Amino acid sequence: MSVIVLDQTQLSVVLADLSSYRPRSMMMEQMISNTLSERCAWPGIEYVVDNFPGWSVCICRPDGSPASVSRCTDYTVSVFSKTPEALERFLDAPGVVRWDRPVDFFAMQKTDEYDVIRRKCLAINPVLQYDKPANSDVYILELDKISTIPLPAGLRLGELGPQHEQYVRTKWPWGFKTGVKQFLEYVLEPSNGFPNSAIFDGDRPVAHILYTADGSIGLGLVDPDYRGKGLYQIVLYDITKKILNVIRQRVVYGYVFAGNVASARCFERMGGTKLPFLVDWLTSSPAVIHSEQGQ
């Protein structure tokens, strides 16, 4: 099976085709759209397909160039497939994924696609680096359907900057992962064009949310001392407005961990719509090379 690295013209064809598979295709669609428009285009990634123009699987992966910037881990991939059978065949082809290193599969939909990837990871190495389910709902926000509330007195609305990288990383449960520091440095650098929204008490950030590499909003947090004041709703509305009006994204979407009742209620209270599937993350271990003696 061939592995085709898409050029800009081919990417445009794939992007048009993806619109027929919404909402499943939404994440890959937005990444490609950002790449083509050069607004919030992530550096050092490429898109590969199993065939062209009659493609069935599209994978976004690091291109291995010096320009590559971590998407939270050193080797993060995003996957969209039209059928699980096509995905299984493509993952078995040489040169599709670097199985000799940890591979982070990002926000996979909990469908047959997820099962295919997990089986492949276990076949490479029966010990997964990360195999704790982190099922998340996906909510979409549309500006004409959402609402905000007034900012409480004494607080101000603004944006985080590079000086807040360590603050965000240490507050985020996955901040320990290799590559997170580089990822945050990139999205928090204003010249790279990734919007965020934050609320400050003086110079201290007390609530924030970021726009990230795959076109989603995430890493949201409200300081425990400031909860119950509607601050998350305010930053959600603010960043949604920026993404829709400046980046011109069709819809805004974010992941909410199953069981995070407060965040789910906030999305729903604002008028967000929950999509009919869950997503999860999976990190494989590098392939194990066995000798003839089985050592």
Query: Which residue type occupies 274?
Result: K
pLDDT band per the 50, 70, 90 thresholds, residue 289:
very low
Q: Amino acid identity of 23? A: P
Is-contact 285 128, C-beta < 8 A?
Answer: yes
- At 131, the pLDDT band (50, 70, 90 cuts) reads low
Per-residue pLDDT reduced to its tens digit, 179-195: 899 999 999 999 999 99
The whole-number pLDDT of residue 291 equals 33
* Amino acid 33: pLDDT: 95
SS3 breakdown of the chain: % helix, strand, coil, rounded to 5?
Answer: 35, 25, 40
Supply the DSSP string of 82-137, one letter for each residue: S-HHHHHHHHHSTTSS-TTS-EEEEEEETTHHHHHHHHHHHHH-SS-SB-----EE
Q: What is the pLDDT of residues 250-262, one digit of tens each?
A: 889 999 988 889 8
Instruction: Look at residue 243 and tell me whether its pLDDT is greater than 50.
Output: yes
Tokens of 272: 């967000």
Q: What is the pTM of this model?
A: 0.92
3-state secondary structure 184-198: HHHHCCHHHCCCEEE
Tokens of 65: 């160039």
